[in-house]
Each structure stands twice: as C-alpha cells, then as structure tokens.
Structure 1
Amino acid sequence: MKNFSNAAFAPEVIELMTRALESSVATLPEPVSSSHIKTIAESILRTAKDGEREIDALQRIALLELALAPRD
C-alpha cells in the first residue's frame, strides 16, 4: 500500500471511507481480487486526505481509478 503515514482522519471520516469502500466493492463482479480492493482503498484514502467527504464522490473516484488502472 502506498505511504499514508502522515494521514490522520477523524472517526466520522473513517466511517465515511469505510462505507465508500464497502459500497465500491459491492459493485464489482465476483470474484473480487485483493488487488482491486487495494486500489479502491488507496484511492479512497488519497481522495479523503485531499478533503473529499461525500461517500458517492469517494466511490465514483475509486471506481474510475480502478477502471483506468493498468491490468496485472
């Protein structure tokens, strides 16, 4: 996972990020790979660190980044 050691989030933001992660993963077809979850989680962390607090926006950005990510 990328370096997020200097990121700090309030409990309510962690809840928003968790909901965005869960709803993002729920939209993916089975089987969901751990690399997909990692990409989504990193995107949500980065986007929330930049100040985004809307669950739908966090989810949209994460899924867009996943779609644009190079395939392994």
Structure 2
Amino acid sequence: MKDFPNASFSPDVIEVMQQALEKAVATLPHPVSSQRVQSIAESILRSAEEGESDPRTLQTMALVELQLRSDENP
C-alpha cells in the first residue's frame, strides 16, 4: 500500500471509510483480488485525506478510479 505518513483520521471518518470500502468491494464480482481491494482502499484514503467524508461518494470515487485503471491496463 502506498504510504500515507501524515494521514490522521477521527474514529468517525475511519468508520465512514470502512463502510465505503465494504460497500465498494461488495459491488465487485467474486472473487475480488487483494490488489483490487488495495486499490480501492488507497483511493478512499486519498479522498478522505482531501476532506471527503460521505461514504457513498468515497465508494463511487474509488470504483470509478478502479474502472479507469482497468481501462488503462486491459
């Protein structure tokens, strides 16, 4: 996982990120690779670090980013 050395989140934001991760992963066809989970988690961390705190938005942004990465690497 990429480094997030200065990242610090409140318990509420951690809960929101966890919800977003779980819901994003649940939308993917099984089995879900650990690489995909890691990509989603990194996207959620980046977005939360930038101030996003809506779980649905975090989920959507992570899935869009994952799709864009998949399109770049067929």
TM-score, scaled to structure 1: 0.95
Flag as ranges the 4+ runs of structure 1 deviating above 4 A.
Answer: none
- Mapping of residues 1-72 of structure 1, within 5 Å: 1-69=1-69, 70-71=72-73
Offset at residue 22 of structure 1 (A)? 0.2
Gaps of 5+ in 2: none
Give the Cα separation in 2 of the matches to 1:7 and 1:71: 29
Gaps of 5+ in 1: none
Give the Cα separation in 2 of the matches to 1:11 and 1:5: 18
Give the Cα separation in 1 of the matches to 2:7 and 2:52: 14
Q: Residue deviations 1:1-59, cap 9 Å, x none?
A: 11101100000000000000000000000110000000000000000000000011000
Query: Given residue 71 of structure 1, which amino acid in structure 2 is its aligned partner?
Result: N
Count matched residues: 72
Give the Cα separation in 1 of the matches to 2:20 and 2:73: 23
Offset at residue 71 of structure 1 (A)? 3.5
Task: Summarize the Cα distance change of 1:13–1:59 in structure 2 as closer, same or farther, 3 Å threshold.
Answer: same
